[in-house]
Structures are given as structure tokens and as C-alpha cells.
Amino acid sequence: MFACIYSPDVNEELDDFAYAFSPVVEHTKQHTVTIDVAGCELMFGSPYGLATEVATRAKRPRAEGGLGSQVNIAIAGNPDTAIHAALQLPGVSFVAEGEELTCLREFPIESLEYSLVNIEAKQAEVILETLKLWGVQTFGAFAELPITGVSERLGQEGVHLQALAAGKTSRHLKSKQPAPIFSNAVELDHPITELEPLSFIYARLLNQLCATLSSYALATNELLVVMTLENKSDHQRKLSLPHPLLDHKVFLKLLLLDTEMHPPPTGVVGLTISCEPVKPRVIQNGLFVPLAPAPDKLELTLARLAKLVGETNIGSPSLLDTHRPDAFIMKRFVLPTKADTRRRRKPPNNRQIPATDQQRRVGFRMFRPPLRAVVQAERGWPAQISAWGKQRGVYGKVAQLAGPWRTTGDWWRTDRWARDEWDVALETGSKNQSSKIQGIYRIYRELLSGAWFVEGNYD
Amino acid sequence: MDSYIELHARSAFSFLEGSSLPEELIATALAFEMPAMALLDRNGFYGAPRFHLSAKRNGIKAHIGAEISVKDPRVNDATFSLPLLVRTREGYQNLCRLITLMKLRVPKHSKNGECVVSADELAAHHKGLICLTGGFDGPLALALNSNPADGSPRAQKTIDWLTTLFGHDHLYAELQRHFNRDEEARNQIIVELARRNRLPLLATNGVSYATELRREVADVFTCIRNHVRLETAGRLLAENSERYLKPGPIMQTIFADLPEAISNTAELSSRLEFTLEDLGYEFPKYPVPGGETMMSFLRQRTEEGARRRYTGSNGAPEYDQARNQLERELKLIEKLGLEGYFLIVWDIVQFCRREGILVQGRGSAANSAVCYSLGITAVDPIGMGLLFERFLSEERGEWPDIDLDLPSGDQREKAIQYVYERYGKLGAAMTANVITYRGRSAAREVGKALDFDDDTLSRLAGLVHTWEWKDPKDTTERQFREAGLDLRNPRIKKFFELYKLVQDLPRHLGQHSGGMVICQGQLDAVVPLEPAAMPGRVVVQWDKEDCADLGLIKVDLLGLGMMAVLEDSIQLIRDSYHEEVDLAHLPPDNPAVYAALQKADTIGMFQVESRAQMSCLPRLRPERFYDIVVQVAIIRPGPIVGNMVHPYLKRRQGRETVRYAHPLLEPVLKRTLGVPLFQEQLLKMAMICAGFSGGEAEELRRAFGFKRSEARMKEIEIKLRRGLLKNGISGKTQEEIVQSISSFALYGFPESHAASFALIAYASAYLKCNYLAAFSAAILNNQPMGFYQPFTLIKDAQRHGLKILPIDITCSNWLCTIEKEPGPESSPHSKLSLRLGLKYVKGLSQQSGMAIERERSLKAFTSIDELRNRVPELHKDELRKLSAVGALNFIQSHSPKLSIHRRDALWQVEKAVRSPGALYEALTEKDKHSPLLPMTIPERIDADFRGTGLTIGKHPVAYHRAELNKLGAQRAIDIAKIQNGSPIRVAGWVIVRQRPGTAKGFVFLTLEDETGVSNIIVTPQIFEQNRRALVDHPFLLIDGTLQNQDNVVSVKAQSVRSLAFKVAAASSHDFH
């Protein structure tokens, strides 16, 4: 015999609740579990006694092992009949063997749980539509159609569905395996404020985590650390890795570096480390391919560098597709993959014509950051420039200039930009002294703020 | 210093490559005191007429040109854009032909780079053109970009090619400065090359928009063109906003180092002698037999026709009476050189007659006795005293427009194809229809460019209301707020700005529904032609207005559903009633027609079936043909807005005395009881009272018409008042006349047009009243058309005693047909019934329907299996649909005992559509009946509505009559007997919902039950309170007050409730 428990108000807790009655539990669908009650007579007297006990216990508050809610429970000789009965009939129902159709007869045909006989939604939809056209509105009407006629018209799927409607299916329950947990937590008696004691706890939790991952042949590329602080707030850190790893020592070092850079504001009284399990990375290195740094070592090096120079200042610069001058972002540094290498080896499509000596382009040295400048303009044209930075200063009279070169954009955003660039040749010396060109510079003016800058000089 | 003239500008008519309308460019040029300007749209002259007319109005010289896409491997590998300016008329014609050549070679939606010209084609069409070397996408830039290190040899080669092609004197080295480094580097080389080749420099700004602000729209257009978002468009977007129309002083500063580049603009402008004024268009010629001139031929055809039509019998005037008018018209036609045009239209009409296609001229052409004599129109203007000047006048300087109504569908296409065939592909084309960014399309596309998610996009598009009437409280802010969008959010605010900016900008070119321009093999020298999306159609690059503005004469071949109904009815009458009906000679005063009109029993009748018409008919009570003319014209915005309807009806009912503003007006307004209803009356009023000539009066109508200009109106009004004063009309009378003319001119309806429509209205009423089966079959075969859904038409026909037979595969054709019931032949009409056609089975393709017809004509079907085998075109779904609507019930036998029910058919169909496999193929089911139960009545109605959109059984409401009686709801047929002002409760199915713009927010519903229809009036307040029920629910119960005025019965709603009936219903016809 099988029992199905259905409650529209409860979902997750239903499984645990069901385990209290039978070791064989199937999580049939949302809000629905089915259990095998064979052999439970010793504990509950009869299947009906079990059903009554389930209904009574479900009403109890959660603290007392109940669900705090009413449930429908149906007992039948096969799981599918029990499921349909529980879904359709309130309270406790008992379907005696051989009486399945009597119970199911009036159920509306739309409530047929086609997935129970492994029929896809699309296919079931077509069959149900045909049944609707036939005027078949209930399980009973469907069950009474001649099976040959159904088979000729609706195929084997139709026959399976008809058996389902007649309560004539039989199957084993798909019992539920508890999902592995990739998370470890610890609560501390005293708050920790130092990194060293924290590192021991990190090590312990990571060890356990890696052992769990290893037992499932998995690795991770994302670690989430949640520290519960003295003031009862949470301090969260997420560590994303470019490749899946499974080395608790590396994880520990990375976490320690990260905690050093982002220490919790107060003492830590609880700690949870969880991870996203993924398939481990499998690489077959070529015999003649130079070895790239090991990913774990690379990650550690990058983390150490980030600690030194700041997180935003490390990575690979990547130009943005925009007219905005010098617009780029820092992307995380990743080792080139084989595909990248292949792509790079391919000869470029455009024929590059080497420049001749006369036409060789002028080199440009960019000042990073650009020098803030004071520019005297005559009728909108720069005439005198003075700019000083920490390491260099640029000043002089504009002897020659070209420009402006104007770029404006991102007008639909709040951070729109507009700037005029000029190439200027500056000369030093006053009117009395003989003047001399001291260099060619690129200056620009941010049109929205009116501020002037020296961006760099030409070789 | 020399003035600067912009000679390279694109407008929004470059379709997504420019973002200002031509008028905006001209307005900006005017503000900069630019004496001339050139428009060079991409591969076309789309914007040229509007540019030209706007420039002409503002005293600016409009130069015309185009940017032509060129691709030739001998010149360059890639496609480049060559700016060409028109110098002479020959140049214009060459450019037109060149564009036509490139456009007609490829289909409408060809890929970029396919619609191009070759170097040889350019060489063949170079005369009269000036070539510029172009901007960033021009041939020089391409040559220089292809080799950044040193492109000058290649650029030199390009210059050599262009010089050979256009000649040294007709090539200018174009310089553009948009503050861009690369561009300036190119400019340096171009200057050097120009000096080396002694080519003049020319400064342009490669304008893409009139003002800097429009750059944002240009960027949005770039996104739409490239199917990207602003955020991801990157360097596809413009680098800066410098492509706006710049004034001379700024350009002089920018080109301070090259002053000759500026001065050359004025020099080049002075060389460009061509403007669109000098189009060289000639009226089309008609080939006439040897020894004849077009005029003599036209005279003969007119005389022949006139003698046939003006016989003096049946109320028609004698030929001699008409001769003077004909002569006057012919003289004017000859003077204006329009004889060829009239003959062309006559020829089309002759073709239609030969092919048995119904054709009738509409609009102002009905004012012409020549058109009437030639058989183009069907209304006698002399008999009806219509005014010829409304159609054609010398003073107006504008050409007549003859509109022909043809049966919509294949017949009309036949006529269009005849015109193409007769005048050649390059001799005739449809006028274009410029599709602009408006409402939802603007909201959706701008929203997409700004990267709004689908949900927000739908909300934004939903903001654009489709109701005809707009609530004054409905401000944009409120609309946005209600949709949950905050206008203070910068992105939403930007969306709103852009949405407003793109309004009315061209999106793409479509084709006008029927306007054709004809020019005997020469049309491609007048305007570029291009293919339409529809195969076999060619369109000109100008729309109807542009053609009219530039004096191109056209003929409108319009499709009218009712013409097709009339044509089909005549054929059905011929086949089933064995009678011949000639629409030109219908009995003029058929009592049944007028009785039906007076009762407003007009469902399905042309022009008089709408709810508003129905509510007017019992008051107007038409008694003769002219009353129908008035009826057609009176329910229009003009008379309604001008408050003419009530005075006319009151006078007609004798409740108000007929009076005239001035005795002089009596002859003009007598027919309409002193109330001006028609445009012709307005013209005559001006002619009689103010001494205007016919042409002047027409000019007055136009001045007060849609394209109003304050200055022009004032000018005409002064003239009008002066004329009135001269005739001694002053003070209050003068004021009254001026007021009625000025307010009415905007909306008035021409009497000739009303008369043409009234003829069709009368014909439809005559056929409905006398040949109901044929008329009903024809109107059902031509759906969708008219005001009502097929269900209502069928119920109306049933109420009038017509038996409707269900769809039956053993006898239904694709179209509805007429069947004769077995019995004595004494009264053939009463024994006719209508068999619904297979076309009413939703989801059944015409191909399958025709295949059923074809197979059945060979041998009757005897089983579903046989049907399936013999008609392989039938899909599984189609068979199911046929079964569900009962079309297969009689496939085995017509005897009730042997017929099967719908579910039996469905049971069999499911088996028939599944292959049983080779082993079981020979096995047949013994019992043809299924284990399934027959459909219940509600199930059958539901299946009928789902499967056909109609039911021929009892009205859905009839099944709930007992329930409704308990609720105290009156039947539609009974409410006319209830006293005016009584409280009343009605219920029914909503068949029409209307919220007309002229009704100040009132909503009009038509409810139908098994006995007929009732009209409901809903005030704006009641509408707001019950919006959901009124808009969404098919069955309503309405409490209100009965209004019965002059037998016009309606219910003024006070409360509205939806009824939850468990029967299906077809959707209503809503006019929002």
C-alpha cells in the first residue's frame, strides 16, 4: 500500500515529516510526497490508522514535529492512485484495491498527472486537447473508452494515460536521496579579533569542505564566507576563482589574504564557509607546450599582488568600443586557453603595410594621470599653458597648434562626456629671450567642466 | 566675404541616415540667411518635393541631388557613396533613371551593397550632373583609407576616373571638417591632390541633421539600422555632434585657411540651374487611331456616351440640355491639355467593363458631365446640379484627381496589372506611402535603443492610446505615472524626449493603397521608381501629396469591399435566381428599400449601417434617392461639428421653419432646407453672394481646408467680405455666412462624392431587400468588411427569413453558396437558402478547401478515410476542425439515421490521421459510431464559435432567456414599445463598442439578443466606473433610462453588470 500526503501550504518540510512514518519517501512534486506504507501496520495498526495519525500529527505545531497545517492523505494500492486521490480529495481517503476507478471516476481530466507515466507536457497537452474535443471530461469517461480505440487514436501514450486515469498503473517509488551539503559552519564561544586564530578555524572548515567535495569528485570556483560579528551583523566575502580548484591550502591562503585586505569591523563570533560545487578542471597538456603557471599558484600570486597594489589596479587592460579617448577597463587576468592560442596564431586578415621611414608615425607618451593645467585662451584658442604634476611640469607659450579634435558621447547617460583635444607646440622663454620649441603636447579640455589637462607629449 | 551655401545635406528621407525633415533644414537655412541649399538623400529623391516646396515658400533656392551607392571592382573593392548634384534638367532625368535602374534591379529588401550602380551605368548617365568627391564614405576617403600609409596614388586614380566620367568642370574636391584627426589628415591630401589636378575645392558639412540636438536621434537611428542598443553600439555611433547645418560665419571660421572652398559654394550654387519647378513633366498621352487627335477622340467618346446617358427618359436630361455643359468641360480639358488623362481613365474603365469588373468613379470626378458620359462616374452632375469647378478649374493650378472604386481583391489587382502592362513598367507606378514613426512604433524602437527590458517596452508602448477620443486629463505625466514610470528618472526622461523628437520622421516607404501615376514609358525620367514589397508592383519615390504638389496627375484605383459584394451578388443572382440585375438601371424608388431605411433596418448596407447612421435614419426617413445622398453626408465630422445635423433634421420633420441667411442663398440651399451640408454649396454660396468665380471659390475651400495657413485665410476672408459687401450683404448676415463657410470648409463632404456613395448604398440596400440570399452570400464571402461581424450579418439574415445551412463537406464550397430547397418552383426566392462556405472554418487553408471542392466534383466522399486519402492537402488539424464544426456529419449519408454526430466524426478522424502500420492497414472498424457522447447544446455553440466565429443555431442569448426574464431584462424587439423616459433593463451580447472623437468621451454599445439589437449610451462617468466590464465582458446587463425620440430608441446606461454565461461568443467589433 502507498500513502500520498499533499499540503498546499508546505513543501520543503514535507519530506522530513514523511520520513517519520516510512523510510521510503518519494518527493513526487511540489507540496506532494508519497510513501510506501507496507509493513507499517506494526506501528500504526492499519494503513488507515497510519493515515489518521499522519493527519493528526500534521496539524500539530512545527515545534512539536508537526507541520502546523492540514494535509490531504490518501492510501491506495498503487502510488499513482494515491497521488490523484490526495490531490483531489480533502482529508483522509482510503482506496481499496480494485476500487480505484470508483474513487477516481469524477476527477476532471485536466488534473491527470501525466508526468507520472513519463509523458512530456507537450505530448500530454495534445492528448488532453483531443480528449476535450471528444467531450471526455473525467477520469471515468476516459477509462471507459475502448482500449483498442484509444491505442489506435492516441498511441501508447494514450494507453498509459488511460491506465493512469483508471488507477491501474503500478510502479516503484523513486525514493529521495538527501542532497549533499557543501557548507560548514562553526559558532564560537569568544569573539576572535586576530587573523591567526581565525586561520585555524578557516583551515578546519576548508578541510571538511574539500573532503566533501572530493568525496563527490567535485571542485569549486566560488567560496562564500559569512562571518557573524559581535554586533550580530554579517560580514560576507565572496572569492571567485577563474578555474575550479580543490586544494584547501590554496583556499586558506587566498582567504587569509582576502581577510587581510577586507578585515571584519569587529570580532567574529560565528563563521560559515560554503562553496559552489562544479566539475573539476581536466587539462591534458601537450608534450611540447610550455607549461603555464599552475592555476593555484597564479591565483595566489594575483591575490598577493592585489594586496600590494589594490584590487582595481591589477588585471589585463581591455579597450572599450567607444569614441571616448583612452577608455578601458581592467579585466581579471586569466591564462590564455588553447583556443585563444590558436586564434592568435592565425594570420590577420588585413594586410599590414609597414610604414616607410618618412611616414612612420610619431610616438606618443601618455601622462598617467593627466596633468591638470591652467590654460590662457585667446578667442577660444589656447595661448599659454602651465601644468605641474608630482614628477613633471609643462609650461610655455603655444607656438603652433592643431585642433580642436572633438569627441562627445554617452549622451543618454548621466556620465556623458565631451572634450576638445589640441596638439600644441610649446615654446619657452619670454619676449626678450630667443624662443625655442620645447615639445609638442596633447592637451584637452573637458567641455562639461571646462577643466584643462595635458594628456601627454609626442616624441 | 562670400556667403556659404550648404551643398551636401541629408534629410530624414535618407531613412535612418538623417534625422531632420526637409522643412526643418529649410527653416534652419532661412534662419542663417542661406540663399540656397542642396538636399542629397541616399539613393533617392524621397524628400526632394517637400524640400523644394518648403524652400520655395521661404524664398530659398532648393538644389536637388542624391548620394548614389557605387560599386565597381575596377574602381574600388568596396561600395562607396558618390554625391551628385543636379545641374540641368537632363541631369535630373539622368539621375532619376540611374536611381530607377539600381532600385528596380534588386528586390525591395535587398541587402546592403546589393542596390548599387556600376561605373558603366554612371558613365551612361553623367550628363547634367556635378560630382563631389564625398565625405568619409566617398570614393576618395575610401581610396585613402585603404592604404593609410600612402593612399594618394590610389586617390589620384580615383580622381582620374571621376574626371574622365564627369569632365574636369563638373568635379569638385569636397572638404568636410568635423573636428576629427583622420578626416583632417585626408583633407590635407585632398587639398594637395586638388591643387595638383587643378580641381576646385568645395566646403560642405556633410549635414545629417538641422540642429545639434538631432544628433541624438541620428544615434538612435544608427542603432535601429544596425539592430544594436546605444550601450552596445560603440563606435557605430557618431564621434561628435558636428553634422548639423552650420551658418556661414562658422563655416568661414572653420575654413579660414581655405577661403576658396567657401566661395566656391556660391559659385557652384549659381551653376546649378535646375529646380523641381522645371520637372519637365508632361501629361500622359493616350495612343489614338491614325487621323485622330486625342481631343477629337475624347470628343467622340464623350458624345457617344452622352447620347447614351442623356436620353431624356427616366428623369435624365435631354442630350441638348447637357451639350452646353459638356462643351464647357471639353474646352477646359483641351485648354489644360488633360485629354490624354481622361482617355487613360476611360481606357481603364473600358478594360474593367470588358473583364466584367465593376467600376465606379467617386469623389469630385462625379461633378463632371464628361466623366459621366465616358462612363467613369455613375452620378449625373447635370441632373443633380453639381458644380464642375469643384472638380476642375483653371485658376486652381492643380490637376484633377479621378478615383475609381473597384471590387477589392483580385479584380482590383487585375486592373492595376492592366495599367502596368498597358503603359510599361517605366510608364506607370503606384504612389508611395511614407510610413513615419508614430505612437507605438516610435515608443518601441526608441525604448529598444535605450535598452529597456521587454516588460518596460510593453508598458511604454501601451502608453500610446488607441482610443479615438482622448481624455483632456490624460496628460503624458499622468500616463507615465499610471504605467509605473517615473519621468524624473533620467532614462525615462530621455526616452520621452527622444520619443517626441522621432515623431513623424520617415521610417520606410510603403505603397499607397491605390494611387497610380502614369507617364507613358517616361515616368522614370520624372521621378525615381522602385519595387514595392508586393511582387509585380512598382512605386514612385513620392507620396500622394508630393505628386499633387509637383503637378503629377494620378488616378486612384481603390478597392471597395462593397463593390466586390455587388459584383458577386449579381453573379449569384444570375446563377440562382436566373435574373439579370443591371446596377445602372435599378428601379429608382423601390419601396422595400425605403421602408428598410426608415426603420434603420440596415445591417450590411453600404455607408448606412453604422450605429450613428442607424440612429439618424428614423428621423431623416429617406423617401427618395437624394435623401440617401444627404444621409450619407450628414453623419460626418463636418455637419456634426458644425451643428448642422439637428437643424436639418428639425426642418425636415417640420419642427423648425426653413430659413435662409440671405434670399440669394435660397437656390443653393433649398435642397438641404437652408442648411449647408455639402462642399459644393459652400462654393456656390461664395460664388453667388460674393461674386467669386468657380476657381476662386475652390481656392477658398482649400484655404480653409486641412492645410490651413493663417495669412492665406485672412487674405481670402477679406476678399470674401469685400464680395459680400458688394452684393449688399453686411452686418449679421455677412457674419453668419462667413462663419458658416469658414467653419464648414474644414470638414465638408462633397455632394458628388456623397452621390456616388449613395448609389452604392442604394444598390446594396436594393439587393439586400430583394435578393437577400445572394446579398448575404456575397457579403459573407467578402469579409472582413463593413461594420459588423459575420455572426451579426447571419443573425440579421435569419431574422429576415433566410435559412442558413451549416458547413457540410458534401455540399459546401470554399465560398458561401445559394441552395435551392426541394419543393414546388412557384416562389423561387423563398425557397433559396444560404450554405455556409468552407472559408468559415477557422484554420482551414484555402488550398485545402479548394482541394475538397475539386475532389468532390469528381466523386462524392463516402467516408472520412476516403476524404483523407483523396485530399492529401488536408492536415490533421484541419480534419479535426472540420469535424468539430459538424462539417463531416453527413459524409456517410444525409439520412438522419445514417448521419454521424460531431464526436463520431472526431473519433473517426483521429484514427484516419494515424497510420495504423502495414499490418493493420486492411482492418476496418465495423462500427462507424463512436463510444463518445454527442455534443450538448452549449458545447456545440462553443465549438461553432471557436471553429467558425459564428453559429447558425439559436442566438447564444436565447438559451438564457428564462434567466434573463427572471432578472427582468427586456428583449431588443420589445423596447421600442416602451415609453420614453421609463426605467429599463436590457441584456445582450456586445457586438460593437465605439468611442468616437466627436462624442466627448461618450461610449456607444450595440447589444444583440435573439430578437435584434439595442443601442446603449454610456456617459464618460459611467464608463470610468465600469471600464473593465464595458471593455472586456461579452455579455452585459444594463439598467438605464429608455430614450425614444422619433423612433430612435436607445438606453442611457446607469449601471452595468457583466453576465457570466457559459456559452462562447465571437469577439466584438471595437472602434476605439
Q: Give yes or no for residue A386 having a pLDDT over 50.
A: yes
Q: What is the mean pLDDT of residues A98-119?
A: 92
Chain B closest-CA separation from residue A377 CA (Å)? 17
Instruction: Provide the pLDDT for residue A148.
Output: 87
Percent of chain A at pLDDT > 90 equals 46
Q: Does A154 contact B910 at a Cβ distance shorter than 8 Å?
A: yes
pLDDT band for position B466 (50/70/90)?
very low
Instruction: Provide the pLDDT for residue A435.
Output: 64
Q: Does A153 contact B911 at a Cβ distance shorter than 8 Å?
A: yes
Q: What is the mean pLDDT of residues B421-443?
A: 86
Chain B CB contacts of A354 under 8 Å are 149
pLDDT band for position B848 (50/70/90)?
very high
Q: What pLDDT digit, counting tens, does each position of B479-529 carry?
A: 677 667 777 888 888 888 898 899 889 998 888 878 888 887 688 899 999
**A448–B contact, CB cutoff 8 A:** no
Q: Give yes or no for residue B1002 having a pLDDT over 60.
A: yes
Chain A CB contacts of B883 under 8 Å are 133
Instruction: Provide the pLDDT for residue B824.
Output: 59
pLDDT band for position B177 (50/70/90)?
very high
SS3 content of chain A, % helix, strand, coil (to 5): 30, 30, 35
Strand partners, A72: A6
Lowest pLDDT segment from B213-222, B245-254, B513-522: B513-522
Q: How far is CA B1025 from CA A270, B63, B191, B1037, in A?
A: 58, 59, 73, 15
Instruction: Provide the pLDDT for residue B565.
Output: 93
pLDDT band for position B746 (50/70/90)?
low
Instruction: Provide the pLDDT for residue B602.
Output: 92
The total of other beta-carbon atoms located within 10 Å of residue A29's CB is 15
Instruction: Provide the pLDDT for residue B296.
Output: 93
Q: What are phi and psi of B1049, to 5 degrees?
A: -105, 130
- Closest residue in A to B147 (Cα–Cα): A353
DSSP secondary structure string for all residues of B43-105: TS-TTHHHHHHHHHHTT-EEEEEEEEEEEETTTEEEEEEEEEEE-SHHHHHHHHHHHHHHHHH
Chain A CB contacts of B916 under 8 Å are 152
Q: Give yes or no for residue B1061 having a pLDDT over 90.
A: no
Q: Give yes or no for residue B587 having a pLDDT over 90.
A: no
Residue labelled with grid coordinates 519647378: B277
Q: Give yes or no for residue B468 having a pLDDT over 60.
A: no
Query: What's the CA gap between B43 and B55, in Å, rounded?
Result: 21
Instruction: Provide the pLDDT for residue A352.
Output: 44
**A149–B contact, CB cutoff 8 A:** yes
Q: What pLDDT digit, counting tens, does each position of B1011-1041 carry?
A: 888 889 999 888 888 887 888 788 999 999 9
- Closest residue in A to B909 (Cα–Cα): A153
Chain A CB contacts of B150 under 8 Å are 356, 359
Q: Give yes or no for residue A430 having a pLDDT over 50.
A: yes
Interface of A with B in 307-326 (CB under 8 A): 320-323
**Nearest beta carbon to residue B179 from set A322, A354, A404:** A404
Q: What is the mean pLDDT of residues A386-397?
A: 86
Chain B CB contacts of A322 under 8 Å are 234-235
Query: What's the CA gap between A251 and A268, in Å, rounded?
Result: 19
* Total CB pairs under 8 A between chain A and B: 87
Mean pLDDT taken over chain B: 86
Q: Does A135 contact B184 at a Cβ distance shorter than 8 Å?
A: no
Chain B closest-CA separation from residue A292 CA (Å)? 34
Q: Give yes or no for residue A433 having a pLDDT over 60.
A: no
Query: What's the CA gap between B1051 and B1005, in Å, rounded?
Result: 10
pLDDT band for position B1072 (50/70/90)?
very low
Q: What is the mean pLDDT of residues B449-458?
A: 86
Say which residue, A361 or A254, is predicted with more confidence: A254
Residue of A405, A407, A455 for testing the chain B interface, max B β-carbons within 10 Å: A405
Chain A closest-CA separation from residue B177 CA (Å)? 10
Q: Give yes or no for residue B825 having a pLDDT over 60.
A: no
ipTM over 0.90: no
Interface of A with B in 153-182 (CB under 8 A): 153-155
- Closest residue in B to A321 (Cα–Cα): B234
Q: Does A153 contact B910 at a Cβ distance shorter than 8 Å?
A: yes
Q: Give yes or no for residue B60 having a pLDDT over 80.
A: yes
Chain A CB contacts of B450 under 8 Å are 412
Q: Does A412 contact B491 at a Cβ distance shorter than 8 Å?
A: yes
**A432–B contact, CB cutoff 8 A:** no
DSSP element (H, E) containing B363: none
Interface of A with B in 246-285 (CB under 8 A): none
Q: Give yes or no for residue B444 having a pLDDT over 60.
A: yes
Instruction: Provide the pLDDT for residue A353.
Output: 47
Instruction: Provide the pLDDT for residue A355.
Output: 47
Say which residue, A151 or B151, is predicted with more confidence: A151
The amino acid occupying position A289 is V
pLDDT band for position B330 (50/70/90)?
very high
Q: Closest Cα to residue B358, out of B37, B692, B759, B16?
A: B759
Cell of A215: 568525496
Residue of B239, B493, B888 for testing the chain A interface, max A β-carbons within 10 Å: B239
Chain A CB contacts of B494 under 8 Å are 412
Q: Does A409 contact B239 at a Cβ distance shorter than 8 Å?
A: yes
Query: What's the CA gap between A447 and A450, in Å, rounded?
Result: 5
SS (H, E, C) B307-338: HHHCECCCCCCEHHHHHHHHHHHHHHHHHHCC
pLDDT band for position A152 (50/70/90)?
confident
Q: Give yes or no for residue A197 having a pLDDT over 80.
A: yes
Query: What's the CA gap between B348 and B420, in Å, rounded?
Result: 11
Chain A CB contacts of B237 under 8 Å are 323, 409
Chain A closest-CA separation from residue B196 CA (Å)? 21
- Closest residue in B to A402 (Cα–Cα): B181
**Nearest beta carbon to residue B939 from set A135, A146, A323:** A135
The total of other beta-carbon atoms located within 10 Å of residue B729's CB is 22
B240 DSSP assignment: S
Percent of chain B at pLDDT > 90 equals 42
Instruction: Provide the pLDDT for residue A350.
Output: 45
Q: What is the mean pLDDT of residues A267-272?
A: 93
Q: Does B180 contact A130 at a Cβ distance shorter than 8 Å?
A: no
> Where does residue B589 rank: exposed (0-12), middle (13-18), buried (19+ CB within 10 A)?
exposed
Contacts of residue B507, Cβ cutoff 8 Å, sequence gap at least 6: B15, B16, B435, B436, B437, B441
Q: Does B907 contact A153 at a Cβ distance shorter than 8 Å?
A: yes
Say which residue, B802 or A334, is predicted with more confidence: B802
- Closest residue in A to B241 (Cα–Cα): A408
Entry pTM? 0.77
Residue labelled with grid coordinates 503629377: B552
Q: Give yes or no for residue B689 having a pLDDT over 50.
A: yes
Percent of chain B at pLDDT > 70 equals 92
Q: Give yes or no for residue B453 having a pLDDT over 70.
A: yes
| Strands B1012-1018 and B1003-1009, sheet pairing | antiparallel
Q: What pLDDT digit, counting tens, does each position of B699-711 carry?
A: 777 777 655 556 6
Contacts of residue B239, Cβ cutoff 8 Å, sequence gap at least 6: A323, A406, A407, A408, A409, B178, B180
Q: Closest Cα to residue B1036, out of B986, B967, B961?
A: B986
Q: What is the mean pLDDT of residues B250-267?
A: 94
Q: Give yes or no for residue B410 having a pLDDT over 90.
A: no
Q: Does A322 contact B234 at a Cβ distance shorter than 8 Å?
A: yes
Q: What pLDDT digit, counting tens, does each position of A38-81 carry?
A: 888 788 888 888 888 899 999 998 888 888 888 999 999 999 99
Chain B closest-CA separation from residue A120 CA (Å)? 20
Strand partners, B1038: B986, B1056
- For chain A, give the number of residues: 459
Q: Give yes or no for residue A351 having a pLDDT over 50.
A: no
Residue labelled with grid coordinates 432578472: B967
Query: What's the CA gap between B800 and B832, in Å, rounded?
Result: 13
